Amino acid sequence: MGDLLFNPNGRIARNRFWQGMVLLTVASVVVSSAALLVHPMFDFISLALIFPYVCVYGKRLHDAGQTAWWVIAIWFGVVVIQVILFMILLFTVLPMLMSPEQRELWAEIMRLSEKGDTEEAMKGVETLIEQMQGLFQRTSLFVLVVANAAMALIIGFVKTEPRENKHGPVPA
């Protein structure tokens, strides 16, 4: 497992890619949960997960005959998916989970925003975020897992180059 997570060279087959992605996703959720529930300093541990992600994605890309530099585009894609999904949830699902008081505050924020009173609207948003902090945290964890899974599915099903390439022999 150490070679899978800490060696960026070579190629890996799909099954090893899936093993690495499951392990890294679980680690990401544990670290993010610790940051939310215990202390925000745990977020710094998530930085230690960057290199293993590069190794796993990079080797899978090598297996397809591509350069590992595509990992940058993958991360950009994950961030875009996270933002889009969070915005969709913010305007569709989260309002249904609000208490009546929170819905009224949300409606007031929307009214202030439409009137152009950005300062008061932002104060309302801060109040709403404080009230719904737990829900926002659970939603952000959900979005993290879904975005990682979506990108892993895309990369995981990239076709393997059937012959030896510059990154090594076909993985067993």
pLDDT tens, residue by residue, 96-123 = 888 899 999 989 999 999 999 999 999 9
The string over 82-104, giving b where at least 16 C-beta atoms fall within 10 Å of a residue's C-beta and e elsewhere, is beebbeebeeeebeeebeeebee
Could you tell me the two tokens for 20? 């690495």
- What pLDDT, in 10s, does the model give residues 153-168? 999 999 999 999 999 9
Would you say 71 and 58 are in contact if contact means Cβ atoms under 8 Å apart? yes
- What pLDDT, in 10s, does the model give residues 132-143? 888 888 888 899
Confidence (pTM): 0.81
Residue 162 CB: number of other CB atoms within 10 A? 8
The confidence score (pLDDT) of residue 34 equals: 92
Q: How far apart are CA 155 and CA 3, in angstroms?
A: 20
